[in-house]
Amino acid sequence: MLQVSFLRDQKARVLEGLQKRNFKNIALVDQAISEDDQRKKIQFELDEQLSEMNKIAKEIGSLLKEGKKTEAEEAKQKTADIKERSKTLQQELTKIEKSLQHILYQIPNIPHDLVKAGTSEVDNEVVFQSCEVVGLGVGAIPHWELATKYNIINFELGVKITGAGFPVYWGKGARLQRGLVQYFLDKNTAAGYIEVNPPHVVNEASGYGTGQLPDKEGQMYYINQEQLYLIPTAEVPVTNLYRDELLDEKQLPIKHTAFSQCYRREAGSYGAHVRGLNRLHQFEKVELVRIEKPENSYAALDEMVEHVKEILNDLNLPFRILRLCGGDTGFASAMTYDFEVWSAAQEKWLEVSSVSNVETFQSSRLKCRYKAGGKTQLVHTLNGSAMALPRIMAAILENNQTAEGISIPDKLRPYTGFDKI
């Protein structure tokens, strides 16, 4: 959430950033500033009323000591009138604070200066590509056919049990999935990330804290009776560990990794581009979360990018890195790098990781701050996938298929216990 002081003091920059995002409802900026002006006016009057009431309370004591009961009673009545006015002002203040917060929740983060303007994924910048890519040629088949051929993923059983987008991993498919999770966690902890096993459901405050609410409310599964949400990523519960926390400078940086199931409704998606593992409602993912001092956050982002790059190199998968344009950057992010692996059988790029710096956008909502040199300020938060499993699985199957079966990358063999499917 952007702070009103930033909207006011950096208005030209804010409007330029929102334009870079193609954000249409820029009138919200002026509305927020106007609401804040009104909030300040009400707060000023309320403070004056309370100050006057305290002053009169002292006068009443003096009047009573002097035996001036009539004057004391008049002062008491004046105090009662002020209390009533203060009550009205407090109600007005609460109402306008809620209105202001609602407006601020609708304004996305401002992109970093390096982020270019653009309207969609076609305007994203390719900043790195590991190698030239080619199709597998005659006889190559997509992962959903490989899954059936080798009996490692059963999509029909998932439909039977739950519905489309909930596959069942079977035999060596399940072992490969489990091996990938363990490999990712081991890579992350070796790089200094502390592992966390968080809840897979969160309350509304947690959803608002990291910006999933209200922006992505329609994409989240909601448990009505308990008023809880199934998480779309471990970023939500892990980052919320530090909601309403005042950290000491010595605690930073904080680096966490977490494995979780992820749940996304992805309503209205149909067609070949979502077949098989390309897009699921439930999937497994290993996440990275960092909490940094502002001056260190972009160096931390670069470090996260290099870390994910190393993982993909270890898996020997062809991949590329894109810096997202303004129109494709997520609501909360100031800068995002997407990692895409080459699906040889489908002959298309598949996103497998997204690494983002959201600066103070989440910490402002979370009220997560740190104290250094007597000064208190908001931290920067970062998050990234290392990695999301479905499309990594698809890429491993498709890029490693041979006439004899599917070859398992060398780095994964200690985790799977086999070298071929």
Annotated binding site for ATP: 264-266, 351-354
* DSSP 8-state symbol, 201: E
CA 40 to chain centre: 31
Q: What amino acid is encoded at 282 in this protein?
A: Q
Strand, helix or coil for residue 255: strand
- For 239, the token pair is 């980052």
Contact 345, 143 (CB under 8 A): yes
Q: Rounded CA gap, 421 and 160, in Å? A: 26
Q: What is the Cα–Cα distance from 385 to 284, expressed in whole angstroms? A: 11
Alpha helices per DSSP H over 261-348? 297-314
Which of these, 172, 351, 358, lies nearest to 274 by C-alpha position? Answer: 351
Given a contact cutoff of 8 angstroms between Cβ atoms, the answer to whether 210 and 219 are in contact is no
Task: Categorise residue 97: left if φ over 0, alpha if ψ from -120 to 50, beta otherwise.
Answer: alpha
Q: Please list, in sequence order, all residues whose beta carbon lies within 8 angstroms of the beta carbon of residue 246, skipping any fewer than 6 positions away.
A: 369, 370, 371, 376
Q: Which residues are annotated as a binding site for L-serine?
A: 233, 264, 287, 383
Cβ proximity of 231 and 260 under 8 Å: yes
